[in-house]
A = this chain, B = another copy of it.
Amino acid sequence: MNKPLPDLVPSLRALANPQRAQIMDWLLDPPAHFPPQRDGDLIQDGVCVGFITDKTGLTQPTVTSHMKILESAGLVSSKKIKNWVFYKADRGALDQIAQVFGQAASRR
């Protein structure tokens, strides 16, 4: 046990970018930050790329790129419904990060 900090580097790299940190934050409470969706529930399924694009003010390709980085770090998961791709925060991943920092803080 007692995972070392270097294990977190991939996740931290993903969240070290302000846009991605902001997106991640929004995804933790979608109804507070995004309008309702026609196909796909904000909480159940996640938020579609288009909404995230609008909210960030970035272009769609840039947002797609950010989302892939978050996903390959295991911080979000994606689900495709019809034409849309919905991204959902993975709270378990955040909790694991919290654990590692917690035990780092109280390590001998």
Contact = CB atoms under 8 A, between A and B. Distances in A.
Q: Mostly helix, strand, loop or mixed at chain A's interface?
A: helix
Contacts of A24: 5, 104
A36 interface: no
Interface stretch (A55-63, A77-85, A91-99): A91-99
B101 A97 contact: yes
> What copy number does this chain have within its complex?
2
Given A24-B5, A29-B108, A95 B102 contact: yes
Interface of A: 4-6, 8-9, 12-13, 15-18, 21-22, 24-25, 28-29, 91-92, 94-95, 97-99, 101-102, 104-108
A24 B101 CA distance: 11
